Amino acid sequence: MEEVDRILIHSLRTSGTEIPEDVQSVRQFTTEIIVEAVVTCLRVINPSVSSNLSHVLPPGMSARFRIGTSLAQACQDLGYSGEVGYQTFLYSNEPDIRALLIFLAEKLPRHSQEDDHQPAGKSTVLQREIASKIKQQLSLPWIPPMCRTAAAQRSQSMCLLHRFQAQPLSLAGDHSAKSVPPERKEYWEKHLPLVNMQLPHSYSLVASLLERNVSEVSAVQEWEAEWKSQGLASRLSAEEYRSRKRQRLQKRIQDQLRQCNQQLSETNTPASATQDLADMLKAFAAEGGADQNKGSRFTHAQKFTHQQDPQVLNEQMQRATESLSRRDAQDADAEQQELTSLQQQIESIEQEIQGLNESAKLLRLTLTQVEEERSKMQQCCEEKEGVVRVKKTAVELLPDADNNLAKLQTMVDSSTQRLVNLAGQWESHRVRLVEEYRELRRVHQEKEDESSRWMKDVKDLYVKIRAAADEAKRKEELYKQLVSEYESLPQEVSRAAYTQRILEIVSNIKKQKEEITKILSDTKDLQKEINSLTGKVDRTFVVTDELVFKDAKKDEPVRKAYKYLAALHENCGQLIQTIEDTGTILREVRDLEEQIETETVKKTLSNLQKILEDYKAIKQENALLLGRVREAESA
């Protein structure tokens, strides 16, 4: 039973029951430990039913009886078939408590199949630790602010709470990347401050790290979604897709810079104010087109993006803004003086422009009419020229009309024959081209089908790769969790010891079974021998009785021998019956000794003393209640 009690105590501690370390068997359980273990198991099995049960016994006996009755009813609702009542918890005995706790331990929820395949991981372990910490804090009583100690101030004070305020962080990148300049690597290694030194307040560290992690995870998820939706459909590799995307981004940036430069130049801004922006555009163009023969547009965009320092760009923009403000301040007076003269010039120029616009409109109308008349006259001339050419040809052919008609007929026949030959040649070429077209179309369709099949295979392979990666990650987390749980287990008790103990118990059971079988076979053989001997004795007595009885009629000594024989037979029967009664009595004695031992284990005397003490306590409580009732009635 020691191994059973150890396993049972381990299960109860795992479920949340606080059992002292010196308790090693169910025999050492007190009433408080029993009630706490049963309530804890009931809460784990069915939290909704056991939410109103308390694991702490009250001092009053009536309340204890009610708690015992409630626990007994809850155990019966779970399907416990044994005898259980309030006495099981208040006046416990070892066998009943062991059977009840084993039943509750078997009812505890095990890990389902899905939980076996889905490891808890670091997040679940963290959630469990948070839940245990919250449970520990909730179990502490609330203390007024003036009575709190230092530990209570840390756990119950609201002064340590802060808002979730994230700050931007500068983190080192991958040192093994070849595209990272050595200056940046040196900055990362020697000059980049620690994360906690970059923040103005220490309490914003967790918020900043969480915000940075969420942004990186969302960027990865967005890239995966874009690659699945657009990247795979483009039939490009991941690097080529990124290259084209960065080329488009670089082109947009160049267009925006050109538009800004044009707008500044069109608004008559002084050249010094736009010089920085022009320098920036030239630097950007130089960065993008310096090595066009040595790399792709993605390489140029990547160089500009990673080598152009954002601080330099900001300084250039600030310098342009400062120069523009200085220039505006210096030229404010000059512009104010020139404003009137410029305004007059503008008005005169506008009047001239209006006059010129009216003249231009008239000229445009006149030009349109002249062009329409010219086109009409040119069309009439072309028609008349065609008619004249036809009539001229007819006039030239009239003197030799017969020969010309014959020549014309010959030309028509030759043209017809040539058309027929051309039609035959075209038919032969058309058949060959149609067959070639059909063949090419078939090959193209096959390639298209094969490409679609490859695309589908690539998508399936990508899904399998993601599933395999997730499975590997899940198994890695499961392995880490199991290793951590194995390390947290007590090292003095090993699985090999349990296995060896189980094997020893199984071998002992086999030996006991063999011995029981042997004893049963010996008992059967002995019973057969006893039966055979009893029959032999009876037959011998019958034969001897007949022989002696014949001689007893004639001889007096033989008659006495016959009497002695009958008395001997009767005494032997009484002796055998006495031996059988002795065996029955010995068996009853052993049964009674076992019952005495069982009753001793049940602690009947100690429970009886507890019952008497509880009875006295109930009488005292009743007397106190009667006294209070009488005082209330008299008052």
**pLDDT tens sequence across 317-372:** 556 556 555 655 555 666 666 677 777 777 888 888 888 888 888 888 888 888 88
CATH number at residue 101: 1.10.418
Decide if pLDDT at 528 tops 80: yes
Check whether residue 532 and residue 480 sit in a common domain: no
Q: Are residues 530 and 596 in the same domain?
A: yes
Give yes or no: residues 304 and 425 share one domain. no
CA distance 489 to 481: 12
pLDDT at 46 over 70: yes
Residue with the larger pLDDT of the pair 410 and 602:
410
Asked if 626 and 67 touch (Cβ cutoff 8 Å), the reply is no
Two structure tokens written together for 182: 């050595």
* Distance (Å, whole) CA 48 – CA 297: 65
pLDDT at 516: 92
Show which of 276, 292, 314 is a domain's final residue.
314
DSSP per-residue string spanning 274-293: HHHHHHHHHHHHHHHHTTTT
Kindly state the average pLDDT of the residues 416-432: 88
List of residues 6+ apart from 206 with CB closer than 8 A: none
Per-residue model confidence as pLDDT tens digits over 99-149? 888 888 888 876 444 444 444 445 666 777 787 777 777 777 777 767 767
User: How many domains, in total, are found in the chain?
Assistant: 4
27 within domain boundaries: yes
The answer to whether residue 143 sits within a structural domain is: no
Residue 560 sits in the same domain as residue 452: no
Torsion of CA 588, 592, 594, 599, to 10 degrees: 160
State how far the Cα of 562 lies from the Cα of 544, in Å rounded to an integer. 9
Residue 306's pLDDT is 41
pLDDT given for residue 175 in this prediction:
61
pLDDT band at 299; cut points 50, 70, 90 = very low
Instruction: List Cβ neighbours of 128 (8 Å cut-off, separation of 6 or more).
Output: 120
| For range 267-290, the mean pLDDT | 57
In the predicted structure, residue 626 carries a pLDDT above the cut 70: yes
Say if residue 308 is in the same domain as residue 205: yes
- Asked whether residue 180 carries a pLDDT value surpassing 50, the answer given is yes
> What is the chain's alpha carbon radius of gyration, rounded to the nearest angstrom?
56
Domain termination residue (choose one: 262, 292, 314): 314
The pLDDT assigned to 328 comes to 54
Which one is predicted more confidently, 493 or 554? Answer: 554
Looking at the fold, whether 13 and 107 belong to one and the same domain comes out as yes
Residue-level pLDDT at 452: 85
Q: Is the pLDDT of residue 245 over 80?
A: yes
Give the pLDDT confidence score for residue 585 in this predicted structure: 92
Q: Please indicate, yes or no, whether residues 485 and 582 belong to a single structural domain of this protein.
A: no
Residue 322 lies in a domain: no
Residue with the larger pLDDT of the pair 101 and 609: 101
CB-based burial label for 445 (10 Å; 0-12, 13-18, 19+): exposed
- Asked if the model's pLDDT at residue 456 lies above 50, the reply is yes
Indicate the SS3 state at residue 254. Answer: helix
Where a domain ends, among 445, 465, 493? Answer: 493
The conformation of residue 229, written as its DSSP 8-state character, comes to I
Instruction: Tell me, yes or no, whether 372 lies in a domain.
Output: no
How far is the C-alpha of 212 from the C-alpha of 7, rounded, in Å? 46
Count Cα atoms within 13 angstroms, Cβ side, for 558. Answer: 12
Residue 59 lies in a domain: yes
Residues of the chain with pLDDT > 70, as a percent, come to: 79
Q: For residues 211 and 302, state if they share a domain.
A: yes
Residue 301 lies inside a defined structural domain of this protein: yes
Helix then strand then coil, % of the chain, to nearest 5:
80, 0, 20
**Per-residue pLDDT, 51:** 61
Q: Is residue 127 part of a domain?
A: no
Query: Is there a domain that residue 612 lies in?
Result: no
Chain-centroid distance of CA 409 in Å reads 93
- Inter-residue contact 104 to 41 (CB < 8 Å): yes
Same structural domain for residues 190 and 308? yes
pLDDT at 290: 42
Nearest alpha carbon to residue 41 among 111, 139, 138, 107: 107
439 and 483 in a single domain? The answer is yes
What is residue 26's DSSP assignment?
Answer: G
Which range (27-41, 265-279, 454-468, 490-504) has the least confidence? 265-279
Q: Which amino acid is at 293?
A: N
Mean pLDDT of 600-606: 69
> What is the rounded CA–CA span in Å between residue 606 and residue 624?
27
Domain boundaries, position 8: 2-111
Identity of the amino acid at 10:
H
- Of 243-247, 282-286, 449-453, 530-534, least confident by mean pLDDT is 282-286
State the average pLDDT over residues 296-324.
Answer: 49
Residues 228 and 305 in one domain: yes
Please tell me the predicted confidence (pLDDT) of residue 279.
63
Q: Once rounded to an integer, what is the mean pLDDT over residues 414-423?
A: 89
Q: Report angle CA 187, 188, 194 to the nearest 5 degrees.
A: 115
Cα–Cα distance measured from residue 187 to residue 399, given in angstroms and rounded to the nearest whole number? 104
Q: Are residues 420 and 518 in the same domain?
A: no
Which of 250-264, 326-340, 481-495 reaches the highest mean pLDDT?
250-264
Q: Which pair of structure tokens corresponds to residue 162?
A: 């802060």
Q: What is the pLDDT of residue 293?
A: 41
Residue 401 structure tokens:
């009309």
